[in-house]
Amino acid sequence: MTPAILACDWGSTHLRAWTLDSSGREVARQDFDLGVNRLAPGEAGEKFLREVRPALGAESLPALLCGAIGSNIGWTTAAYVDCPADLPTIAAGLISPSKDVWIAPGLRCTGLGPAGDVLRGEETQAFGWMAGDPKRSVGRHVICQPGTHAKWSIIENGKIVRFLSAFTGELFAVLSAHSILRNDGRVHEEGVFREGLEAAAEGDGLLNRLYSTRSRVAGRGADQASTGSYLSGLLIGAEVAATPRLLGVEGEAVVLLGSPKLCARYATALARRGIATSLADGDEAVKTGLLCLARMKGLM
């Protein structure tokens, strides 16, 4: 297989990069600990040139990037596109910060308050999921994309019409590393995770309920090593209880799009609430989305 393009999903915490051939088959892949949150201003372009391209032998390939790399803390800002938006709208918003490099824009929509809501990268993944089956571009679908900042989107007839973000993954990481709830999060205990889901109730009073993560250890003698599983259940449980209601999709089936391990936890949380789910691989979807954008832009 001969690589035809370098495709990258460059988020706030890490970078996933692939070379794809002209038919979209993966030639090579590499992950990098180069999340934009860890980069100094102006550093992204240099890292991409000196580390990412050589690692995949992609020095001469056109490159297409999505994610936080196009935000105000990334390489350069690719202006947000307003919802509702389809794939051609995203393609029209591509910008080029350097020779043979293009960055996809993110999406913006009304949120829970005047600040609105934004996302970057998840739009490319969602459109990639749609491209996997023509039926997905017809009718209405609800997608949940778990991650550092989980996204819940409504798709209608091939367009993302509205979404809501949840700070779940980042809050878990911050509390696990820098609070009295610190834990290494390496061992997942399913039973304890389900205790956390139960403690989340309807997603209300989260600040109060979070303290039960501490009191179960200090007051009830629970093993400190189980804190991560309980905290994960509590946060995911609160998210899946509150977000569908806030987005106006309560009771509707949900497509879980992301890493299989994390999506499985969300499936457990949603099943507990009687919500039907289906799972889709996030890596395959984002690769397909980047491939579709590249073809639409004439990059390959």
Mean pLDDT of 263-287: 97
Look at residue 184 in the predicted model and tell me its pLDDT. 84
Look at residue 89 in the predicted model and tell me its pLDDT. 96
Is 296 inside any structural domain?
Answer: yes
Q: Containing domain of residue 216, as a range?
A: 79-93+106-300
Is 244 inside any structural domain?
Answer: yes
What letter would DSSP give residue 128? H
Q: What is the mean pLDDT of the chain?
A: 96
| Residue 118 scores a pLDDT above 80 | yes
- Cα–Cα distance for residue pair 23/3, rounded to 1 Å: 10
Contact 45, 97 (CB under 8 A): yes
Question: For residue 209, how many C-alpha atoms fall within 13 Å in the half-sphere facing its CB?
Answer: 22
Q: How confident is the model at residue 187 (pLDDT cuts 50, 70, 90)?
A: confident
H/E segment holding residue 207 = helix 206-210
Is 10 inside any structural domain?
Answer: no
Summarize pLDDT for 133-180 with one digit per residue, the tens. Answer: 999 999 999 999 999 999 999 999 999 999 999 999 999 999 999 999
Summarize pLDDT for 39-79 with one digit per residue, the tens. Answer: 998 899 999 999 999 999 999 999 999 999 999 999 999 99
Contact residues for 290 (Cβ-Cβ < 8 A; gap 6+)? 5, 7, 8, 9, 20, 64, 66, 104, 124, 128
Mean pLDDT of 234-253: 98
Nearest-5° Cα angle at 82, 76 to 87: 80
Is 67 inside any structural domain?
Answer: no
Q: Read out DSSP for 230-298?
A: HHHHHHHHHHHHHHHHHHT-TT--EEEEE-HHHHHHHHHHHHHTT--EEEEEHHHHHHHHHHHHHHHHT
Look at residue 239 in the predicted model and tell me its pLDDT. 98
Is 194 inside any structural domain?
Answer: yes
Summarize pLDDT for 244-262 with one digit per residue, the tens. Answer: 999 999 999 999 999 999 9
Q: Read out DSSP for 9-41?
A: EE-SS-EEEEEEETTS-EEEEEEES--GGGSPT
Is 64 inside any structural domain?
Answer: no
Mean pLDDT of 261-278: 98
The CATH number of whichever domain residue 219 belongs to comes to: 3.30.420.310
Mean pLDDT of 114-141: 96
| Residue 1 scores a pLDDT above 90 | no
Mean pLDDT of 270-294: 97
Contact 42, 50 (CB under 8 A): no
Look at residue 256 in the predicted model and tell me its pLDDT. 98
Mean pLDDT of 14-28: 96
Tell me how many domains the chain contains.
Answer: 1
Is 257 inside any structural domain?
Answer: yes
Exposure of 159 by Cβ count < 10 A (0-12 exposed, 13-18 middle, 19+ buried)? Answer: middle
| Residue 185 scores a pLDDT above 80 | no
Does the pTM surpass 0.85? The reply is yes
Determine the 3-state secondary structure of 124 from DSSP: helix
Is 3 inside any structural domain?
Answer: no
Determine the 3-state secondary structure of 60 from DSSP: coil
Look at residue 186 in the predicted model and tell me its pLDDT. 80
